[in-house]
């Protein structure tokens, strides 16, 4: 088929389809089907058959779009999932927290868990563990100091990777 026939078919499709990429696809598909059909069947009027095939492809395309509509993705709507890097950092901090908690003396760990995770008061913890409220407070202070020290040490590599220089005194 001559290039002029392809151009005529492209004009025919352009009158019905505004999207240039879709026009190219439809014309290409129509020509491919026309050549396949011509291999086994005699064609007397190539131009008429090409328009007929193209029209059917256009109708099929738009019918399919009506049956299966698509929604455009709004780029302004952010994803609510955390970034993989954030998930990894939180996982590493949790592992560090678990290691520090496991390394604490049992009484200090018990005081921290009861106060921070269960929300018990110093008095309730003291009665349960046979300690004064001041002793409970002292264990709590030491537990938090140990935990914060380990977390600060664990954050130093992350600050180096991100280039942050805050709190990096030698």
pLDDT tens figures, 33-75: 988 898 999 989 988 999 999 999 999 988 887 787 777 777 7
Arithmetic mean of pLDDT over the chain:
84
Dihedral sign from CA coordinates of 143, 145, 148, 149? negative
The whole-number pLDDT of residue 2 equals: 59
Task: Say what percent of the chain tops pLDDT 70.
Answer: 86
pTM for the structure as a whole: 0.45
Average pLDDT over residues 119-141: 94
Average pLDDT over residues 2-29: 88
84-162, which class in CATH? mainly alpha
CA separation for the pair 78, 148 (Å, rounded):
33
The whole-number pLDDT of residue 157 equals: 53
Structural domain boundaries of the chain?
Answer: 3-67, 84-162
The whole-number pLDDT of residue 79 equals: 75
The whole-number pLDDT of residue 6 equals: 86
SS3 132: coil
- Burial environment of residue 55 by CB neighbours within 10 A (0 to 12, 13 to 18, 19 or more): middle
């Amino acid at each position: 088929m001559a290039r002029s026939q392809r151009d005529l078919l492209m004009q025919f499709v352009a009158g019905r389809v505004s999207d240039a990429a879709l026009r190219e696809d439809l014309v290409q598909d129509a020509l491919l089907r026309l050549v396949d059909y011509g291999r086994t069947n005699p064609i007397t009027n190539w131009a008429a058959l090409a328009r007929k095939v193209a029209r059917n492809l256009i109708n099929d395309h738009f019918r399919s779009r009506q049956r299966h509509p698509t929604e455009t993705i709004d780029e302004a709507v952010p994803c609510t999932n955390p970034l993989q890097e954030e998930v990894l950092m939180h996982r590493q901090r949790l592992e560090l927290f678990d290691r520090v908690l496991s390394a604490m003396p049992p009484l200090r760990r018990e005081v921290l868990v009861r106060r921070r995770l269960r929300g018990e008061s110093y008095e309730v913890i003291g009665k349960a563990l046979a300690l004064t409220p001041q002793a409970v407070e002292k264990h709590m202070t030491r537990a938090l100091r140990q935990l914060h020290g380990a977390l600060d040490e664990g954050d130093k590599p992350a600050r180096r990777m991100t280039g942050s220089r805050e709190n990096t005194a030698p």
